[in-house]
Structure 1
Amino acid sequence: MLIILDRDGVINAYDGHYICSVDEWHPLPGSIDAIARLCQAGHRVAIATNQSGIARGLYDVPDLDAMHQRLNALVSAIGGRIDFIAYCPHHPDDGCDCRKPKPGLLYAIQQALALPSLAGSLMVGDSRKDLEAGLAGGCNVALVRTGNGRDTETHLLKRPLAGVRVFDDLAALVDDLIA
């Protein structure tokens, strides 16, 4: 199965402020191990992340690449692999097709991995935008309570989305998937 992860708030710590450098990028406890366990259980892993800080001039593509190189190195060091990272560098006002909640990033992943569809894939996020993108792309969806997840869970009580499963964090989701 393909597991598509949002980055900020799912894999790394996120408190609403832009993460602009590799020095500011810190994995959440258990997240790197969780990704490796997914791979070792036969799942493919990809990342779909909005990165409007690029359009805002807060950091550039080489800074983002450095963060992703660190992520890949940490995952690889314990036997995992990230098959593809798709990111949207655009400002929210740009009207692009790749910024979540639109499913463009997910379709980019589908194309890069030569998949006939995203049916049966799982989109994991900490925001409603992540979940809406997953549903629009034909994925199953799961919310983690890390990052913005607890606030998102509260808002989902007022405006529910069908089929959303909720987990404390990425490690708990992986425990459930692998069990």
Structure 2
Amino acid sequence: MNKLVILDRDGVINLDSDAFVKNADEWIPITNSITAIARLYKAGYQIAVATNQSGLGRGYFSQQDLDDMHNKMVQLVEAEGGRFATIKHCPHRPDAGCDCRKPLPGLIDQIKQELQLEDLSGAYMVGDSLRDLQAGEARGCKAVLVRTGKGEKTLAANEGLENAMIVSELAEFVDWLLEQDKQG
């Protein structure tokens, strides 16, 4: 069983914006998310990020802006004693026809390959939208929907969530997962 948790970024780790999160100043962590990631890492989990970043392809921000946002995220997590195994992003516009834009599982495949995993059974995909969950489920990940970000809207649509665990936020999922580990 893989002790791997794959996280969507916007709406799961940091506050989302319909106008896109465009720079490190706009990248604001959701309360408790950074500590939750660090707790997962300390409990022996690998944490990966799989994020659609079409704002790059749309010209809303630069690769340097994205790097700065991710550096901020990494530094905050490391300051709490955590670490990301990898961060993968899709830079393409929705109409680009790539295989890495969620709900397609290309980013999940990249994570699996980089971490040299045989399969993703036992891994979790945590997201705030149906497409996040679909990308993970396509590769055998267990789906977890957070109510933060676009989660409430996704929940209201009530489609494709039959197998998903629903939690208020990332920290609640981490509490649950670490409790499951204790119970063996």
User: Same fold, TM exceeding 0.5?
Assistant: yes
| Aligned partner letter, 1:170 | L
- How far apart, in 1, do the equivalents of 2:144 and 2:177 lie? 11
In structure 2, what is the Cα distance between the partners aligned to 1:162 and 1:118? 20
Which residue of the partner structure matches residue 142 of structure 1? Answer: 144
Which amino acid is the alignment partner of residue 161 of structure 1? L
Structure 2: runs of 5 or more not aligned? 180-184
2:49 is aligned with 1:47: yes
C-alpha deviation, 1:98, in angstroms: 0.1
| Cα distance in structure 1, aligned partners of 2:17 and 2:64 | 23
Q: Distance in 1 between matches of 2:176 and 2:126?
A: 13
SS at match of 2:166: strand
CA contact (8 A) 2:130 2:160 kept: no
Uncovered stretches (5+) of structure 1, i.e. residues with no partner: none
- Per the TM alignment, residue 162 of structure 1 is displaced from its structure 2 partner at its CA by 3.1
CA distance in 1, matches of 2:161, 2:12: 19
Q: Which residue of 1 aligns with 2:172?
A: 172
What amino acid does structure 1 have at the position aligned with 2:50?
A
Aligned counterpart, 2:103:
101
Report the Cα offset of residue 6 of structure 1. Answer: 0.1
Q: Distance in 2 between matches of 1:103 and 1:141?
A: 13
**What TM-score, normalized by structure 2, do the two folds share?**
0.94
- Equivalence map 1:24-39=2 (5 Å): 24-39=26-41
Residue 146 of structure 1 deviates from its aligned partner by 0.1
Percent identity between the two aligned chains: 51
2:56 maps to amino acid? I
Alignment of 1:50-61 (within 5 A): 50-61=52-63
Q: Which residue of 1 aligns with 2:131?
A: 129
Q: CA deviation at 1:161?
A: 3.1
Partner residue, 1:10 = 12
* Stretch of structure 1 that moved more, 44-53 or 116-125: 116-125
Q: For residues 97-123 of structure 1, what are the alpha-carbon distances to aligned partners after superposition, in whole Å with 9 as ceiling and x for unaligned?
A: 000000000000011111111111100
- Spell out, residue by residue over 1:30-85, the C-alpha distance to the aligned partner (whole angstroms, 9 max, x if none): 00000000001111100000000011001111110110011000000111000100
Shift of 1:138: 1.3
Q: Give the 3-state SS of the residue equivalent to 2:111 in structure 1.
A: helix
Matched, 1:87 2:89: yes
